[in-house]
Structure 1
Amino acid sequence: MFSNSILLIGLILFFGFLFGEIAKAVKLPKITGYIVAGILLDPDLTGIIPANFIDHTDPVTNLSLAVIAFSIGGSLLFKKIKELGKGIISITFFEAQLAFIATSLGFVLFSPMMLKIPHATLIATYIPFSLLIAALASPTDPTSILAVAHEYKAKGPVSSTVMGVAAFDDVMGIINFSFAIVISQSLMAHIGFSFFSSVFKPMLIIIGSVAIGVLFGVLLNLFNKIVKGDSDGVYLVLIMAFLSLSYGLSDLVGADPLLASMSMGLIVVNFNPNRQKIFQILERYTEEIIFVIFFTLSGMHLNFKVFGSSILLVLIFIVLRNSGKFVGTWLGATISRSSPPVKKYTIGGLIPQGGIVVGLALVIKQHQEFSVIADYIISIIIGATVIHELIGPILSKISLKKAGEIN
């Protein structure tokens, strides 16, 4: 309907903000409102935003993902990890990995029966599809549990464990995603399974990605010392410059840009004396606008034709993911000898899903080799995200109440 790019950006910002505020008013996460706004602006639904505009929004999406991944890395303060103890590390590892394993095995079984993809084969289509969708099962959205904890002033071991796990399983999700991308590319290119393509190459990519992130994290820390002036504007320019360089170089050499961005955040938060100011500036000046644009655009990628045939797969994804997280949480808590309330009620806070998983789904669409499965993955993830964000806060509240951490 409209072709003026600036006008379209204005519409996206306005409607995204409006529906975010509506979601907030009815006690839902704002991200849910942003996604709903994007769905309503979908070219297939209203025609207000032309389809070719969405096809040219990759730079905005990528920059948004860089900021999100950098912030995730910024949560990995070594001192904080040490204080949280082995319980959180154990629970994070098992709940994230069992969610991945349960979802991948389930989709290998169900997807050939439920997806009608022309010329599809188990090795070259359904296994890559299952690995990629499973990699998106690991992360948890910490904002929902944080909002519930703040609203009801919840304090205790379950609240602390959920927040710690929710922060760290995004890291596990990005690592799983890095492996899944490389292995799936090999399988879909009909290279088949080999030690190099399935194990050694992903390890090289991960090491290279971390190295690039560490390099630009160190450079940001050095420039932060050299450049005089401590205005917010100076900090913001340096952050965005080095973050863009890290993401762009990683993409150029075939490394993982998200892992590089996360590694850069880890270096900054642990070795920059101005770490607190850096992340506060990023949150104050970029978080709201990036979230509005990014998640509204994400909703606009929903393919209604594909979504109609994927509703049952959305439900299967939700069941498999949460079953894996339930068993993994119990196993991790048992191995680390966590308290009975932690073992029993932590899972209730690990249901919400949003943020990084929607971004990872969009990254899949940017790879041409995944074109036959990308729309299915995006439809499943957006559908599951909306449901998880609706039921997640409710389950979080119930779990914290049963744990006796809400007065």
Structure 2
Amino acid sequence: MYVLLSLAVALFTGLMLSRLAKKVKLPAVTAYLVAGILIGPYCLGAFGVEGLGFISMDNIKAYRLLSDTALGFIAFSIGNEFRLSQLKKIGKQATVIGIIQAVFTTLVVDAALIGLHFIIPDKLPLSAAIVLGAIASATAPAATLMVVKQYKAKGPVTDILLPIVAL
């Protein structure tokens, strides 16, 4: 029952914030991310607010199956958007753009975090700064796909964007 209540609170919070985001002309995915932050272990959970089910990282790990299932549906949805003829036509371009984007993101985040390391070396070890830079290069396919679907985006940019996200 506690699990169902936690999921209900998460879904309700996401729904309410998405309605609010729509009024200020933001994508719904922005509201879902904010809802996750608010009811997660580092915001309300840090204050020990009972009843949400997301008070600690152990609670978050309990929802791993649900998270993996959702990511599977997202991957299926991205694959469903591809047309083989289109993928053959823009595959090389998408690969080059994806590699450049990953390298550039890694370098920028690494530079910022290494600079921060010299400001607070006891809080941010150099190894952690470099690893976080590499992690930052991963794109969020769920957020990208949700924005594309919400606005029913079509065209050459969207045709290139989805293969890049899938890579």
In the superposition, the TM-score normalised over structure 1's length comes to: 0.33
- Give the Cα separation in 2 of the matches to 1:8 and 1:140: 22
Q: Which amino acid in structure 1 is aligned with residue 27 of structure 2?
A: P
Map 1:2-401; keep pairs closer than 5 Å. 4-41=2-39, 42-43=43-44, 44=46, 47-48=49-50, 49=52, 52-76=55-79, 80-86=83-89, 88-115=90-117, 116=120, 118=122, 122=126, 124-136=127-139, 141-149=144-152, 159-172=154-167
Secondary structure of the corresponding residue to residue 25 of structure 2: coil
- Give the Cα separation in 1 of the matches to 2:78 and 2:93: 17
- Give the Cα separation in 1 of the matches to 2:81 and 2:18: 34
Structure 2 spans left out of the alignment, 5+ residues = none
Structure 1 segments of 4 or more deviating over 4 A?
137-140
Q: Which amino acid in structure 2 is aligned with residue 164 of structure 1?
A: D
- Give the Cα separation in 2 of the matches to 1:77 and 1:149: 15
> Larger C-alpha radius of gyration, 1 or 2?
1
Query: Quick one: percent identity of the two aligned structures?
Result: 19
Greater RCO (Cα-Cα under 8 Å, separation 6 or more): 1
- Give the Cα separation in 1 of the matches to 2:22 and 2:156: 25
- Give the Cα separation in 2 of the matches to 1:59 and 1:100: 31
Secondary structure of the corresponding residue to residue 55 of structure 1: helix
Structure 1 residues 107 and 11, CA, compared in 2 at 3 Å: closer, same or farther?
A: closer
- Give the Cα separation in 2 of the matches to 1:85 and 1:38: 37
Q: Which amino acid in structure 2 is aligned with residue 28 of structure 1?
A: L
- Give the Cα separation in 2 of the matches to 1:100 and 1:75: 19
Structure 1 residues 95 and 145, CA, compared in 2 at 3 Å: closer, same or farther?
A: same
Q: Residues 114 and 130 of structure 2 are in contact (CA less than 8 Å); yes or no, is this contact kept in structure 1? A: no
Count of equivalent residues: 159
- Give the Cα separation in 2 of the matches to 1:147 and 1:138: 14
Structure 1 spans left out of the alignment, 5+ residues = 151-158, 173-407
Supply the RMSD in Å over aligned alpha carbons: 3.4
